[in-house]
């Protein structure tokens, strides 16, 4: 079945075109071309109901094929396209043009605190290393049951919020502590530790707390809430970090 497609002439003839002209101001960097990063403006026609990612695609596909960014699912679940849009960390595929004032140039740059490799692509390896360091997997001892482990709906609910994480790095790369010191585990790693510390089936909570008790652990958090604002999944990141701090003091989780 065809999806109705207007040909160009017909579209132009219609008085109420949904398209507006928007300027994308993008921080470009390609070490094969120049050691310096530069801002470059692109003017594009776009429906305000479209995503920032759609705008980036219009540029890459029709104007400048060298523009480079990561993306995959295009609806906020794969975590590939976190970037700094008008100074705030967001997913390009979950940010609609109309929601970010299209009257002014929209600034787009790579997330901060991780090395920029080309245009909007950063080196994710330190981010994933911090994640791997918090033992982000269920640890149990003793014989496994034949059927599933039992868990009450309340116990399941206890860590529901932190299971939503898609490892996009929007939180970690919005954190001023992480900008200044890349050794800090960062919010995303703590969120993923939280997800297991508060899972009633898990038996390695103490070990994870010790890991996060480190000088680069949770105590570095200065509660600026940037991470919570940045999370595209709506996770209460700062609250999760506070709960880990409290568990460290009380050893109750």
Partner 1 sequence: MKIHKYDTVIVGAGGAGMRAAIEATKRSRTAVLTKLYPTRSHTGAAQGGMAAALANVEEDNWEWHTFDTVKGGDYLVDQDAAEILAKEAIDAVLDLEKMGLPFNRTPQGTIDQRRFGGHSRNHGEAPVRRSCYAADRTGHMILQTLYQNCVKEGVEFFNEFYVLDQLITEVDGVRQSAGVVAYELATGEIHVFQAKSVIYASGGTGKFFKVTSNAHTLTGDGQAACYRRGLPLEDMEFFQFHPTGIWRMGILLTEGARGEGGILRNKDGERFMEKYAPVMKDLASRDVVSRSIYTEIREGRGCGPEGDHVFLDLTHLPPEQLDAKLPDITEFARTYLGIEPYTDPIPIQPTAHYAMGGIPTNVEGEVLADNTTVVPGLYAAGEVACVSVHGANRLGTNSLLDINVFGKRAGIAAADYAADAEWVDLPEDPAALVEEQIERLRNSTGGERVAELRRELQETMDANVMVFRTEQTIKTAVEKITELRERYRNVSVQDKGKRFNTDLLEAVELGNLLDLAEVMAVSALARKESRGGHYREDFPNRDDVNFMRHTMAYREVGADGTETVRLDYKPVVQTRYQPMERKY
**Which residues form the interface with partner 1 (CB under 8 A)?**
1-5, 30-33, 49, 60-62, 64-66, 68-80, 94, 96, 117-119, 121, 124, 128, 132, 136-138, 140, 144, 147-153, 156, 159-160, 163-167, 196, 199, 201-202, 234
| Half-sphere exposure in the Cβ direction for 47 (13 Å, CA) | 7
The total number of residues shown for the chain amounts to 253
Question: Which C-beta is closer to partner 1: that of 117 or that of 248?
Answer: 117
Give the shortest CB-180-to-partner 1 separation in angstroms. 26
Give the shortest CB-107-to-partner 1 separation in angstroms. 21
Give the shortest CB-77-to-partner 1 separation in angstroms. 5
Question: Which C-beta is closer to partner 1: that of 160 or that of 181?
Answer: 160
Beta-strand (E) ranges in 29-125? 38-46, 82-85, 88-91, 106-109, 116-118, 121-122
Give the shortest CB-233-to-partner 1 separation in angstroms. 9
What is the C-alpha separation between 210 and 196, in angstroms, rounded?
14
Question: Which C-beta is closer to partner 1: that of 46 or that of 177?
Answer: 46
Q: Is the distance from CB of 237 to CB of 245 less than 8 angstroms?
A: no
Best CA proximity match to 169, nearest among 92, 76, 81: 81
């Amino acid at each position: 079945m065809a999806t109705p497609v207007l040909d160009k002439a017909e579209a132009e003839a219609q008085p109420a075109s949904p398209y507006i002209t928007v300027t994308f101001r993008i921080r470009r960097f390609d070490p094969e071309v120049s050691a310096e990063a530069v801002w470059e403006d692109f003017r594009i026609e776009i429906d305000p109901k479209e995503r920032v990612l759609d705008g980036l695609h219009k540029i890459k596909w029709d104007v400048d094929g060298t523009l480079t960014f990561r993306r995959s699912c295009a609806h906020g679940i794969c975590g590939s396209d976190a970037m700094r849009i008008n100074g705030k960390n967001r997913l390009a595929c979950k940010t609609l043009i109309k929601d970010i004032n299209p009257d002014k140039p929209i600034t787009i740059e790579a997330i901060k605190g991780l090395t920029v490799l080309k245009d909007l692509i950063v080196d994710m390896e330190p981010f994933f290393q911090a994640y791997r360091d918090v033992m982000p997997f269920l640890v149990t001892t003793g014989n496994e049951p034949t059927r599933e482990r039992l868990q009450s709906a309340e116990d399941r609910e206890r860590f529901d919020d932190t299971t939503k994480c898609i490892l996009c790095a929007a939180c970690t790369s919005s954190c001023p502590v992480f900008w200044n010191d890349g050794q800090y585990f960062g919010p995303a790693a703590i969120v993923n530790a939280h997800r297991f510390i508060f899972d009633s089936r898990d038996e390695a909570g103490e070990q994870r707390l010790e890991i996060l008790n480190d000088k680069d652990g949770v105590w570095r958090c200065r509660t600026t809430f940037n991470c919570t604002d940045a999370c595209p999944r709506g996770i209460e990141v700062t609250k999760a970090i506070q709960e880990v701090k409290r568990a460290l003091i009380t050893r109750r989780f």
